[in-house]
């Protein structure tokens, strides 16, 4: 894991905005540029412009509208992050859309917030994702996890990546899906916090994902089982 960056007035968070409404882009620019540690370095109004301008600007954070006239912000997120893996994408939408949330998580988005968010909360979200943390609307995320677990109509075959996990890694993944912290997982499985962290690094690599929240989505496809909670290190 790379250390979280610290941004200052001399080295601000470089933000790239993608939204098809000029009024929204102007409003976001005014809101974010008023912060000394944030600088809006450019914007785009559609997918084509975003993919042409984004890589040249090398932003730290891209604030992306989910719905765009020639496509969607999720595909922009996926494409920009393939060229700039360190880029943090914050999805901004007026739709409370579980499918879009799932797609955003699996595209590597660091955050997903609704346009009804307060200005101060959006500023905080930009700072959060810029520092390397996730900023997902907790209510929407919790409901998504519940709906994934409660949908018996779709019984997906276990992904080969899940099958490759050791029993201990599967225990830990299931607890990540339940929303437990590393410390809570350690207490439940009688493991040190450092050991849990090492297990999580390995299981993320095996699953081919970078973010804990992506792993949590995959955890919903695990078959229910009793964790092996005897002391083991």
Give the pLDDT of residue 150: 58
Give the pLDDT of residue 204: 87
For the domain spanning 156-219, the CATH number is: 1.10.10.10
**How far, in Å, CA of 73 to CA of 63, rounded?**
9
pLDDT tens per residue, the chain (233 residues)?
445 678 888 899 999 999 999 999 999 999 999 999 999 999 999 999 999 999 999 999 999 999 999 999 999 999 999 999 999 999 988 776 667 777 888 788 888 888 888 999 999 999 999 998 887 655 666 666 666 655 544 444 455 678 888 889 989 988 887 778 888 899 999 999 999 999 998 988 888 887 777 787 777 767 655 555 454 44
Fold of 13-145: Rossmann fold (3.40.50)
The secondary structure of the chain in percent helix, strand, coil, rounded to multiples of 5, reads 50, 15, 35
**How far, in Å, CA of 205 to CA of 214, rounded?**
12
Domain with CATH 3.40.50.2300 in the chain: 13-145
Domain with CATH 1.10.10.10 in the chain: 156-219
Q: What is the token pair recorded at 131?
A: 């520092």
Give the pLDDT of residue 55: 95
pTM listed for this prediction: 0.66
Give the pLDDT of residue 93: 83
**How far, in Å, CA of 232 to CA of 142, rounded?**
30
Cα angle: 51, vertex 56, 61; to 5 degrees? 75
């Amino acid at each position: 894991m790379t250390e979280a960056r610290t941004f200052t007035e001399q080295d601000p968070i470089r933000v790239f905005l993608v939204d098809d409404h000029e009024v929204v882009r102007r409003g976001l620019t005014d809101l974010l540029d008023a912060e000394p540690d944030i600088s809006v370095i450019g914007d785009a109004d559609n997918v084509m412009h975003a993919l042409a301008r984004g890589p040249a600007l090398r932003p730290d954070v891209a604030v992306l509208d989910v719905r765009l006239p020639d496509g969607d912000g999720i595909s922009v997120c996926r494409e920009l992050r393939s060229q700039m893996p360190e880029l943090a994408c914050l999805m901004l939408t007026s739709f409370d859309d579980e499918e879009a949330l799932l797609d955003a998580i699996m595209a590597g988005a660091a955050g997903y917030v609704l346009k009804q968010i307060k200005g101060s909360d959006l500023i905080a979200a930009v700072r959060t994702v810029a520092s390397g943390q996730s900023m997902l609307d907790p209510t929407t995320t919790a409901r998504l996890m519940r709906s994934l677990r409660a949908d018996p109509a779709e019984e997906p075959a276990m992904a080969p990546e899940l099958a490759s996990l050791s029993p201990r890694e599967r225990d830990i993944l299931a607890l990540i899906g339940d929303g437990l912290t590393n410390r809570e997982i350690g207490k439940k499985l009688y493991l040190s916090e450092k050991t849990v962290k090492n297990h999580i690094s390995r299981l993320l690599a095996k699953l081919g994902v970078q973010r804990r929240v992506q792993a949590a989505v995959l955890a919903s496809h695990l078959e229910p089982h009793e964790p092996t909670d005897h002391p083991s290190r």
